[in-house]
Chain A
């Protein structure tokens, strides 16, 4: 075995981790080689020096220092947890307040948007608004009525308005002021009803001026009255929202307020005389709130009449001239009924 190979294995030989054969070879070489024997002695000395290295003692404060850092770490860890959970007693009211605030804002926003939503839900301009004008009592309506009449003198000559006239808006407005065909059904009227409470009055309303329309809006009561029969109907199925809006108050009132109104058109030769006669009859039958309005070639009387007297009164009217009635309920209810008599010159 050569010196280089021996010296590389001296450390293993020292550790006694060499095979017996290798050990014999190394020992053989060490016996014959002074240089390798010296190297081996140095290696042993290095081992001894390392073994003799004294241990150092830790400073007295080391444990304290370590433990203070450990406890600080513990606090820090606990601090993080505390940040997450500790202020629970503060967070709960804050969260509760935030929830309430969000709820209030949500309601406020919903309220603000609601009208827009309802408007969006409404269908295209539905039934004509005329039923409002049909209310015979309110003076404001009468005003609107007369204005409408002024603008539609042609109607006098053609009482039943043909639907094919073209101007739909005008047609709608015409309805209350023109004699209706006798065969016009109640349902048709019912369908018109829900519209009356809506704001549709602002739509182009033919001859009605804006001021008149505003006046009409100020008199919702008569409109509600006339809608009482409507309220119980299934009329405005297509517009449930509107039906709900209109029907709810009307239905409530329907139980206590008279039904109606009844529209009667009387064709006479002398409008003035006939008007006086009708007024007299109304007085005879105990009508209340009689209102009379004269127009050129036309007289309009509105009153509230006891329901049981209605039939008799209508009979009396037939003596004056040719009558056309509409809005007469099948079963005459108790209480007062609104009635409007439209006296027009015989065509």
Chain B
């Protein structure tokens, strides 16, 4: 196991040093925000989740025994809180009905924001920001268990070992889930862009 660069700061936090915790916040907040944002697909919600993540970490810092890296431990918190937030958002959507910004439900029971593009290779003609927005949209329509492996592996670049630590699931499950997630996303992207 790699030496955790955050170990000293964590020890200081455990002794009640809030400045040390602030240092950890500054160091990890961007990564945590990106995980949350790619998981949830909403920047404001992601910011709230990140706040909750660090607060939860602070409350539970005494329980952190250094068995995994601090960033891994923090990632598992943000993933769990993100999944909770997704559930809450879905529940809110069902309770309050769709808003104009929400994707519409198609005959197949799937969500999409707009009809698939007819032109081939539309990706080249779109602005990079628009492409990324569409990719995020497609990710948002995946199941949470596909989302998490895609975000952790393909976006954040965690190793399989780290993902095992974060999600607490076996390596084989991660791989198979990841391959299915990619296929699902490929289908989604093809529908969104017409051709990749």
- Decide yes or no whether B190 CB sits under 8 A from chain A: yes
Stretch at the interface among A62-70, A189-197, A262-270, A280-288: A62-70
Contact A62 B150 (CB under 8 A): no
B21 contacts across to A, CB distance below 8 A: 67, 70
A58 contacts across to B, CB distance below 8 A: 29-30, 33, 47, 50
Stretch at the interface among A26-34, A39-47, A315-323: A39-47
**Total A-B residue contacts, Cβ distance less than 8 Å:** 97
Q: Report Cα–Cα, A196/B59, bound state, in Å.
A: 79
- Decide yes or no whether B55 CB sits under 8 A from chain A: yes
B26 contacts across to A, CB distance below 8 A: 63
Contact B55 A69 (CB under 8 A): yes
- Decide yes or no whether B88 CB sits under 8 A from chain A: no
Stretch at the interface among A49-57, A100-108, A303-311, A336-344: A49-57
A71 contacts across to B, CB distance below 8 A: 18
- The answer, among B22, B33, B38, B183, for a CB contact under 8 Å with A53, is B38
- Decide yes or no whether B154 CB sits under 8 A from chain A: yes
Q: Report Cα–Cα, A147/B178, bound state, in Å.
A: 120
B46 contacts across to A, CB distance below 8 A: 56
Q: Report Cα–Cα, A55/B132, bound state, in Å.
A: 10
Contact B51 A73 (CB under 8 A): no
Q: Report Cα–Cα, A65/B179, bound state, in Å.
A: 38
- The answer, among A12, A59, A74, for a CB contact under 8 Å with B47, is A59
How near does chain B come to A46, taking the closest CB pair, in angstroms? 5
Contact B135 A63 (CB under 8 A): no
Contact A66 B135 (CB under 8 A): no
Contact B175 A12 (CB under 8 A): yes
Residues A67 and B47 in contact in the complex (CB < 8 Å), given A52-B132, A55-B30: no
Contact A66 B33 (CB under 8 A): no
- Decide yes or no whether A180 CB sits under 8 A from chain B: no
Contact B18 A53 (CB under 8 A): no
Q: Report Cα–Cα, A260/B47, bound state, in Å.
A: 106
Contact B185 A46 (CB under 8 A): yes
Contact B196 A46 (CB under 8 A): yes
Contact A49 B54 (CB under 8 A): no
Contact A46 B47 (CB under 8 A): no
- Decide yes or no whether A146 CB sits under 8 A from chain B: no
Chain B 128-158, CB-CB to A under 8 Å as 1, else 0, gives 1001100110000000000000100011000
Closest to A12 in B: B179
Contact B186 A62 (CB under 8 A): no
Q: Report Cα–Cα, A7/B187, bound state, in Å.
A: 13
How near does chain B come to A15, taking the closest CB pair, in angstroms? 8
- Decide yes or no whether B25 CB sits under 8 A from chain A: yes
- The answer, among A43, A53, A69, for a CB contact under 8 Å with B182, is A43
B179 contacts across to A, CB distance below 8 A: 8, 11-12
Contact B29 A66 (CB under 8 A): yes
**Could you list some 6 contacts between A and B, CB below 8 A?**
A11-B183, A49-B189, A49-B196, A50-B150, A62-B33, A62-B50
Interface positions of B (Cβ within 8 A of A): 18, 21-22, 25-26, 29-30, 33-34, 37-38, 43, 46-47, 50-51, 54-55, 58-59, 128, 131-132, 135-136, 150, 154-155, 175, 178-179, 182-183, 185-186, 189-190, 196
10 cross-chain pairs, A with B, having the tightest CB-CB distances, nearest first: A11-B179, A50-B154, A45-B196, A66-B54, A58-B33, A46-B186, A42-B196, A70-B58, A58-B29, A42-B186
